[in-house]
Amino acid sequence: MEYKADVNVRRHKDRSTSLHIASSKGNNEIVKILLENNANVNVVRNKDDYTPLLDACKNGHVATVKLLLDSKACVNTFSKKDGSTPLFKRMFQWQCRNCEIIAREQS
């Protein structure tokens, strides 16, 4: 980041940003660095309309979900591909810990 790289640059093949990739893998150190350097927490990937929050939820990364929510990730965003929201994604996969975190954010 010391060379002022654009943290919101997208990968050509699926339009993912670094934050999508780090969130989907639960790499919290990278997620923190990206967020500290103004990564767009609500950026939507064209391939499936997932946000970093949806990616983290889909893969069960509770700590990553919390980091994204603390950075004002939108909990009501949904994927146009499958209509899922972060809460639905977790409920469907029976990962209730994420459900509790997200449900608190919605209230």
Give me the CATH number covering residue 55: 1.25.40.20
User: What is the distance of C-alpha 22 from the center of its chain?
Assistant: 9
Is residue 10 in a domain? Answer: no
- Asked whether residue 55 is assigned to any structural domain, the reply reads yes
Answer with the residue of higher pLDDT: 90 or 30: 30
Mean pLDDT, the chain, rounded, equals 80
User: Is 2 part of a structural domain of the chain?
Assistant: no
Question: In the chain, how many domains are there?
Answer: 1
Domain membership of residue 35 (yes or no) is yes
Cβ contact 23:12 at 8 Å: no
* Domain of 53, in residue numbers: 18-106
Residue 48: phi and psi, rounded to 5, are -140, 10
Q: Is the predicted pLDDT of residue 1 greater than 60, yes or no?
A: no
- pLDDT, tens only, 39-75: 999 988 766 778 898 888 888 888 998 899 999 998 8
pTM: predicted TM-score of the whole model, two decimal places: 0.74
Residue 90 predicted with pLDDT over 70: no
d(CA 19, CA 17): 5
Domain assignment present for 63 = yes
| pLDDT tier for residue 97 given thresholds of 50, 70 and 90 | low
What pLDDT does 2 receive? 64
Determine whether 8 is exposed, middle or buried from the number of CB atoms within 10 Å of its CB (0-12, 13-18, 19+): middle
